[in-house]
Amino acid sequence: MIVVIDYNVGNVKSVCNAFQHIGCEAELSCEPGAIEEASGLVLPGVAAFGFAVSALGPLAELIKGLASKGKPLLGICVGYQMLFEESCEYGRHEGLGLIAGSVVPIPPGRVIPHIGWNLVELPQDMDLFAGLGKEKHFYFAHSYCAEVSDEKTKIAYTDYGFELAASVQKDNIYGVQFHPEKSGKHGLKALKNFDDICERNSNKGT
């Protein structure tokens, strides 16, 4: 069972709906017990960074601990941004610090927010994108972006007049700046891949 962390921010339900639509077992929960038992965790997020971090509260430490011990974790949008060390959206806020880097405003000189479908180059060694080919369009909606400083992190880029980190992976920790749950069939395929990753990881442990 995948647990989508329910922490009082907008549109967490859509992620759960998407998993259920493709036949994956997923539930919304903020119960520490369920989170510990889960085969994998999804940290969604439609909110401003600071609001999301404070809404997550003490669950942050729990999620961080479980991810450090190998439980697959997928951060989406602000949930993705929260994987990094800090953000400067409406003031300075600390993130989970699971991946080295910081969240900064999208550089000026283009339309901001970055809203819409952009083409993401998919590295073949990122298992989140297995079976999706070299590049696909995904739906983005954000004004801040991650500057990844961790050299061991795999990165999928999209072109928004600069190389924007659309997705990262560091071991069992995955993040997507775009919304797979809102990116039609290719987004659903990425979620299915995450479910497979969780399943493989659970089987490995037993």
Partner 1 sequence: MLTKRIIPCLDVKDNRVVKGVNFLNLRDAGDPVELGTRYSDEGADELVFLDITATIRSRKTIVELVEKVAENVFIPFTVGGGIQTVEQMDTLLRSGADKVSVNTAAVRNPNLLSEAARRFGNQCVVLAIDARRSEVHLDKWQVCIKAGTEPTDIDAVEWAAQGEHLGAGEILLTSMDADGTKAGYDNDLNRAISDAVNIPVIASGGAGKLEHLYDAIAVGHADAILMASITHFGNYNIRQIKEYLRDRGIPMNL
Chain contacts with partner 1 (rule: CB under 8 A): 10-14, 17-18, 21, 46-48, 51, 78, 89-90, 111-119, 137, 139-143, 159-160, 179, 181-185, 187-188
Q: How many CA atoms lie within 13 A of 25 on its CB side?
A: 6
Residue type, 186: H
Which residues, including other chains, have CB under 8 Å from residue 59's CB and lie 6 or more apart? 5, 7, 30, 32, 35
Which of 7, 170 has the CB closer to partner 1?
7
Under DSSP, the state recorded for 161 is S
Closer residue to partner 1 in complex, CB, 117/171? 117
Q: How far apart (Å, rounded) are the C-alpha atoms in residues 165 and 16?
A: 24
Asked if 138 and 120 count as a contact pair (C-beta separation under 8 A), the reply is: yes
Closest approach, Cβ 30 to partner 1, in A, equals 14
Nearest approach, Cβ of residue 171 and partner 1 (Å): 28
The residues pairing with 168 across neighbouring beta strands, listed in sequence order, are 155, 175
Residue 118 CB, shortest distance to partner 1, in Å, is 5
Contact 88/147 with Cβ under 8 angstroms? no
In this complex, which beta carbon is closest to partner 1, that of residue 115 or of residue 124?
115
Hey, what's the torsion of the CAs at 96, 100, 102, 107, to 10 degrees? -140
- Which C-beta is closer to partner 1: that of 134 or that of 200? 134
Q: To the nearest whole angstrom, how small is the minimum distance from the Cβ of residue 77 to partner 1?
A: 9
Question: Could you list the active site residues?
Answer: 77, 179, 181
